[in-house]
Structure 1
């Protein structure tokens, strides 16, 4: 006997949108939803499985028996199966048992739209109705200011499972514990935003969350969905934005996941040249299928809508853009124009960004894109992909390569450092020192620095201060802010005990003060994506391995002068050309003793002279400490 009552959340208009790939709120329709029908409380289920001959809901309420609760297929060829099951309420475990028309195959799948999942390695979906009273109205009302591209954007990247652990209990912190400890720490460090590596449910810890099976469910490893909302809420109450890593590029082949969902390639592209990722041994979404586009765009909007998320960092964009990504000749087919671009994926990204910025104009999307594909962060109406920002992978690669060199050799490689300025304003760039740079034998950031211990830490302070004063926004992976020595290990906690040592604590203080400098000086953020906000003073003093530049605010009333010395030789009377007369004062010095430096500084105000230098009418002599950055400001 089938105990399913015919019921639907879908209107004809919903179905037309779904078929056209234009339904961007599918989480309100598909999945499981607690409701009442004719006064009887239960749960409405709906799942897309067009190749099925039958779909049963199996769960702990029917002893996981196929056929007891068989859904009804809609008459409109949408491929949606739906129905209401009385008595099924909050917390019920379930899956879909799908009997396919294709080769009589049967699959047993978790709900693609489930709001909660069992704790891995268990794989069932959980009926859930996440009620939460938000207390972040103040943040949401001013978010358009805090998230603007002319606002400070300093991001702390976090892997929740290994940021800090309860050692005595051998466990990670819960969402509730993180809402106190992580929030307080980020606030102390003065970061403007937190970026979380994927929090969506995933079966395999070593994937770091990038192999997702539950796209609409925060992982149960750290608590309930409401507790994750508490973490978001607490961040907002402390004026901290939250960005989520989001993975629309691929998904794993786990039996309960999206792959081969109804006995056919439903979510993945049926052509393995387009549907399988050789590097990650995972499946690639079929961007040519309207219903799949609706799934992905609905998922992006779900996190922005239901969880008040402030931005999405879109993972592996390059792998989506190019048909030949990680493929040899013969392993890929050209597009209809003979090119290597994945035209369907490009259209998807444009549609995604158009809808996000239309519905949530006060958020940001950030592309992790490693190629020279043009106009990634330009608006779609100008022909761009429409992202708000793009990771500046070239800057990261060239800068780390330069800093790894002994200082005596750096004069031969100054171009590695200055080259980024030739393209710095072609995109809205974010400068990333992410988790990818401290794994797989690459060493920690401090581990790449040359010289003795003092020089290593001086180099690191120099790197960070150069990064924070370079045009663009910033991202730093957890542990790098106090110079963790070991590579990141997702199993273990960060080495917080290092903060008892002067040099490590000095790096932490450096980052905190750089965040304060960045937030409090309009010259560092008002024109961070505009060439008008930057001007070289000198980039070709390779003999001394020194560069100097000006960062300018919108009105050019409060410019900052930045001077970097990439050698351990202090320069006590180094003359720089300046844009105007007046008096300079030192507002930041990475060689300060409180950071572990030697203390060489410009303690007195610097009088600017009417003496030509660096093709300018005015100049001044300043002290430049060894392996350090000095930031000066006019004080007229």
Structure 2
């Protein structure tokens, strides 16, 4: 039982924006044989606790303290019963509200909170936790499989897979395919599947259609014991505007900005948090830590960061006012994100903090001390947009737009990047990744393999949305499972095998991830061959002789006896060729081996001659090379 001094001190910290486990004080808690309920609603006239235990009546009126916290202690409730708060708002309106700190809500269509304790699990994932704490995630492979939990797979009658069923099927599948992280679209409670979880109502509650808190704990533990990390999307930028949720909780701007133009998020039809308000900071920081700690989640991908950073985001001229310096920065938002990362890293330095952000005005992954936001990684939206535009176009025109494939090399050191081929790119009429590719069905498969090889060999961590690994042709549909029937087609089977082999190559080749934060991790061989539309570069590992040569042919034309520069004299061999028949291509020739020619090629002293299939990506590795010892 918490003593009143501790409660009072922590409530004070909540009001100062310094309480990072607010769910332990606010919400519903059992103390001895009674339950204590506390909720923050500073401008409410009255609040009643109402639920199954009092026939949803006004018999349990709560008491307000001087700081706007309402509370009641009662022995009437029992575990698993439902409750809400009946709030008499500032204008006298009475409305049922959810408990913002509930850790479980009832099944839809209702959203009452469930009375229950925090699950007490005896964890058995110490091996993973220890390795994770000792490792440097910047210098290790991170290959993420992005999943919408309710549409990865469904039963024949349309029923969702439970977390228990997904534990048996999704985890082995992810391991088999060679991914080492799963990233879930938001797991937080939301009222409508069509929002994919991004319109949150419960920042501490697991979406009930997905399962129970205990089932999620077991799922994460099972992932860790297979050396698979778990990341979840988390949305501090906005929240669902449903009347019975957080919106204008006490009848006045409570969680949202007081200025209506800042509170309203027009693009999403939601409300924006007032990130400068201390109580909101305590609420959100506690939520972030809650998911990391209660569920052993390994990281958070913070969604819609641009909406937090800029006052004019998604607004026309005249719909916003400048900050105190006359600019468009959301100064409170920037300070909040810095505080978020400082807090998370102070408690869990091994946690991954990833930002989804599309501008270049603010340093996202820079050190907070240098004015950055402190994230570990940022989604590389520029790379994604340029590359997909490039692959969508007729190969005849790629030579005129070759910079789309090469320009991202120019800014690759500006941030620590994740290369996302995410859910956002395969929905709302954008077509699946497979259907984006130009040409015939066979050409599409050829180019999709080429695209994935570019992603896997280009500097940055990797993310691929579910279904893309086997080349699903139709767009993602949130209300249905993936089109697994496509795997009855031989080309889809071979695409799935290709993805598995490519992922394995990535995980097993240190040159693809050891030095991503260093300039010399990439050496461009030739980025000027626009006419033939062939791009070539080297990925360098820590050891001088550990490197890979990557050649990408963006046209269907086979390039015989193609000259390519190499750094050292000796022998080389092909280790990966996307055009091979086992992957769905037509190339059946033996793997090529190469002897260097003593002839310079651009900045390199030697060259090899390669037969390069059309639409292929080829990876070559040194076998026996002669490296001159550097002078000290």
Sort the TM-score into its range (normalised by shorter chain).
Answer: over 0.9
Choose from 200, 204, 224 the match for 1:236: 224
Q: Which residue of 55, 62, 70 maps to 1:63?
A: 55
Q: Residues 255 and 216 from structure 1, CA distance in 2 versus in 1: closer, same or farther, beyond 3 angstroms?
A: same
Give the whole-Å Cα distance in 2 for the aligned partners of 1:10 and 1:255. Answer: 33
CA contact (8 A) 1:293 1:348 kept: yes
Alignment of 1:94-243 (within 5 A): 94-100=83-89, 102-129=90-117, 130-144=119-133, 148-167=137-156, 169-243=157-231
Counterpart position of 1:343 = 331
1 CA distance for matches of 2:116 and 2:357?
Answer: 35
Q: CA deviation at 1:560?
A: 0.7
Per-residue Cα deviation, 1:144-167 (whole angstroms, up to 9, x for no partner)? 356711110111110111100011
- Kindly report which structure 2 residues correspond to 1:452-467, keeping only aligned pairs within 5 A, or say none: 452-467=440-455
Q: Is the 8 A contact 1:147 1:364 kept in 2?
A: no
Q: Describe how 1:520-539 pairs up with structure 2 within 5 A.
A: 520-539=508-527
* Aligned residue runs from structure 1 range 472-483, under 5 A: 472-483=460-471
Contact 1:7–1:84, Cα closer than 8 Å, also in 2: no
**Number of residues paired by the alignment?**
623
Cα distance in 2 for residues equivalent to 1:223 and 1:9: 36
| Structure 2 residue aligned with 1:430 | 418
Could you list the runs of 5+ residues in structure 2 that have no partner in the other structure? 625-632
Match of 1:88 in 2: 77
Q: CA deviation at 1:417?
A: 0.7
In the alignment, the residues of structure 2 paired with residue 458 and residue 21 of structure 1 have an alpha-carbon distance, to the nearest angstrom, of: 53
Deviations 1:296-344 (A, max 9, x none): 1111110001110001001100111111111111110100000001000
Q: Which residue of 1 aligns with 2:39?
A: 47
How far apart in 2 are the matches of 1:317 and 1:404?
28
Partner SS state of residue 453, structure 2: helix
1:49-92 superposed Cα distances (whole Å, 9 cap, x missing partner): 111232221010010111x2222323xx3321223221423211
Deviation at residue 505 of structure 1 after TM alignment: 1.3
Distance 2:364 2:454 in 1: 25
- Contact 1:107 1:261 (C-alpha < 8 Å) held by counterparts: no
Would the aligned equivalents of 2:545 and 2:622 in 1 still touch at CA under 8 Å? no
Q: Is the 8 A contact 2:572 2:622 kept in 1?
A: yes
1:310 aligns with 2:310: no
In structure 1, what is the equivalent of residue 13 of structure 2? 17
How far does residue 9 in structure 1 lie from its aligned partner after superposition? 8.1
Q: Residue 26 of structure 1 aligns with which residue?
A: 22
Task: Name the residue aligned to 1:73.
Answer: 64
Q: In the alignment, what sits opposite 1:263?
A: 251
1:245 corresponds in structure 2 to 233
- What is the aligned partner in structure 2 of residue 635 from structure 1? 623
Cα deviation for residue 16 of structure 1 reads: 2.9
3-state SS in 1 of match to 2:46: strand
Return the offset for 1:380.
0.7
Q: Structure 2 CA distance, aligned partners of 1:290 and 1:305? A: 22
Residue deviations 1:384-423 (CA, integer Å, cap 9, x gap) = 0111100101111110101011112211111111011111
* Partner deviation per Cα, 1:550-589 (whole Å, 9 max, x = no partner): 0011233311110111111112211111111222122211
1:599 aligns with 2:587: yes
Output the CA distance in 2 between the equivalents of 1:494 and 1:272.
40
Q: In the alignment, is the contact (CA less than 8 A) between 1:591 and 1:601 conserved in 2? A: no
Q: Distance in 1 between matches of 2:128 and 2:113?
A: 33
State the Cα RMSD in Å.
Answer: 1.6
Distance 1:303 1:172 in 2: 23
- Normalising to structure 2: TM-score of the pair? 0.96
Q: Could you tell me how far apart the structure 1 residues matched to 2:250 and 2:3 are?
A: 22
Match of 1:35 in 2: 31
Summarize deviations over 1:19-49 as a string: whole Å, max 9, x none: 211111112211112231xxxx132211111
Does the residue aligned with 1:402 lie in a helix, a strand or coil?
Answer: helix
The answer to whether structure 1 residue 552 and structure 2 residue 540 are counterparts is: yes
* Alpha carbons 1:624, 1:630 under 8 Å: kept: yes
1:190-238 per-residue CA deviation (whole Å, 9 max, x = no partner) reads 1010110011110011111100111101111022111111111111111
For 2:521 and 2:599, the matched residues in 1 are separated by: 25
On the 8 A contact 2:158/2:480 being kept in 1, the answer is no
Q: Report the CA distance shift for 1:425/1:6 in structure 2 as closer, same or farther (over 3 A).
A: closer
Instruction: Go from structure 1 to structure 2 and tell me whether the alpha carbon gap of 1:126 and 1:574 turns closer, same or farther (over 3 Å shift).
Output: same
2:61 aligned counterpart, secondary structure: coil
Answer yes or no: is the 8 Å Cα contact 1:55–1:71 preserved in 2. Answer: yes
Q: What is the CA-CA distance between 1:250 and the residue it aligns to?
A: 0.8
Relative distance call for 1:196 and 1:88 in structure 2 (3 A) is: same
Task: Check conservation: 1:364, 1:388, Cα contact below 8 A.
Answer: yes
- From 245, 266, 284, the equivalent of 1:296 is 284
- For structure 1, the residue ranges without an aligned partner over 5 or more in a row are none
SS of residue matched to 1:487: coil
Alpha-carbon distance, 1:600 to partner? 5.5
Whether contact under 8 Å (2:104, 2:205) holds in the other structure is: yes
**Among residues 341, 351, 354, which one is paired with 1:363 in the alignment?**
351
Counterparts of 2:362 and 2:520 in 1: how far apart (Å)? 21
CA contact (8 A) 1:584 1:607 kept: yes
